[in-house]
Amino acid sequence: MLEASSRSQLQAALTPYKRAGKRVALVPTMGNLHQGHLSLVQLASQHADVVVTSIFVNPTQFGPNEDFASYPRTLAADREALRNSQCSVLFTPTTADLYPFGGDCAVMLKAPAALTNCLCGARRPGHFEGVLSVVARLLLISQAEIAVFGEKDYQQLLLIERMCADLGFATRILRGPTQREDSGLAISSRNQYLQPTELARAAALHASLNQLQQQIRAGNHDYDALRQAAIKHLQAQQIEVEYLQIVNATTLQSASNNDRQLRILIAARLPGARLIDNIGVEI
């Protein structure tokens, strides 16, 4: 595995591959890698000759009261995990590489309000502007043909797909399926903050999503009643539901009976962590 810790080093590492007509895939991450990230690397390797994994804790996607300073930085362990994966190049840019004019003078992308004023975006103002602004930079620097993002962060994935389509990026975005524990709990770096009893309780999130999926498939399209019942059920298990929404999978607006592709998304708080998950339903 090659390593590049600056924009120019990455471009130097990729030039021979590009000259030889090899396909480059990018897997952007903020590090603290787990099985979910490694599955994205594996997916990338099935579609490209060279897989670049970037690790960069992006300051512009954290709000003033969020955990940028304490975000886990585990480069040694991440490097080891990537060495044992299909990753060809580890890219660890500096802030100056990605924001050469400094945070205050950086050009930032504006995310469409309809896709950001809801779900996680409603609770994290400016977050998705930061995500789009860093992902655009990473795509431009790497000139990747393919980039892979996890479905677990569904709103983020949709916004990145929209950005690439709207701005005419040549990069094809691949969706990486959510990786799960045996209990069904979505694998996330935040799971490490949960005590074993909380971990067991957290499996109720996926169970609720599954049940809603089955109810909708069985023909129950009273989405509001379904979500209210699911929220009550989770609250009865002492799970604080931040949101549970059944939406159109493309617009993220509340699902109507004409919609055929739905997404059910949840964010919930347990002592120790805020967790998110989602599931698709085709009608």
> Which residues are catalytic, by number?
37
Min dist. Cβ of residue 136 to ligand PAF (A): 10
Q: Whose CA is closest to 174, among 161, 189, 156, 183?
A: 161
Give the pairing of strands 261-270 and 273-282.
antiparallel
Q: Which of 30, 108, 229, 231 binds ligand PAF (CB under 6 A)?
A: 30
Q: Which residue has the tokens 């100056």?
A: 96
Q: Answer yes or no whether residue 270 interacts with ligand PAF by CB under 6 A.
A: no
**156 versus 179: smaller Cβ distance to ligand PAF:** 156
Q: Contact between 153 and ligand PAF (CB under 6 A)?
A: yes
The CB-of-29 to ligand PAF minimum distance in angstroms stands at 5
Binding region for ligand PAF (CB under 6 A) out of 24-32, 185-193, 221-229, 250-258? 24-32
> Taking the mean position of all CA atoms in its chain, how far away is CA 185?
16
| Least spacing, CB of residue 94 vs ligand PAF, in Å | 14
Contact between 26 and ligand PAF by CB under 6 A: the answer reads no
Task: Decide: is 28 part of the binding site for ligand PAF (CB under 6 A).
Answer: yes
Per-residue contact track with ligand PAF, 132 to 151, x per CB under 6 A?
Answer: --xx----------------
Closer to ligand PAF at the Cβ: 87 or 134? 134
Q: Which is nearer to ligand PAF, 132 or 199 (CB)?
A: 132
Whose tokens are 């709103």? That residue is 155
3-state secondary structure of 269: strand
Cβ-based neighbours of 142, under 8 Å, separated by 6 or more: 10, 14, 24, 26, 52, 54, 91
Whose tokens are 């617009």? That residue is 251
Q: Min. distance of Cβ 93 from ligand PAF in angstroms?
A: 11
Q: Quick check: 35 and 123 in contact, CB under 8 A?
A: no
Q: Which two tokens stand for residue 75?
A: 């480069």
For residue 216, how many C-alpha atoms fall within 13 Å in the half-sphere facing its CB? 28
Six token digits for residue 1: 């595995």
Q: Which of 259, 267, 180, 276 is nearest to 231 (CA)?
A: 267
Partner residues linked to 262 by β-bridges: 248, 281
Candidates 26-34, 193-201, 228-236, 274-282; binding stretch for ligand PAF (CB under 6 A): 26-34
**In whole angstroms, how close is the CB of 264 to ligand PAF at the nearest point?**
20
Q: Sketch the per residue contact string, 52 through 71, with ligand PAF: x for CB under 6 A, - otherwise.
A: ------x--x----------
- The continuous run of DSSP H or E covering 275 comes out as strand 273-282
CB of 257 to ligand PAF, least distance (A): 33
Closest CA to 87 of 56, 45, 135, 129: 45
Does position 121 bind ligand PAF by CB under 6 A?
no
Interface residues with ligand PAF (CB under 6 A) are 28-30, 58, 61, 131, 134-135, 153, 156
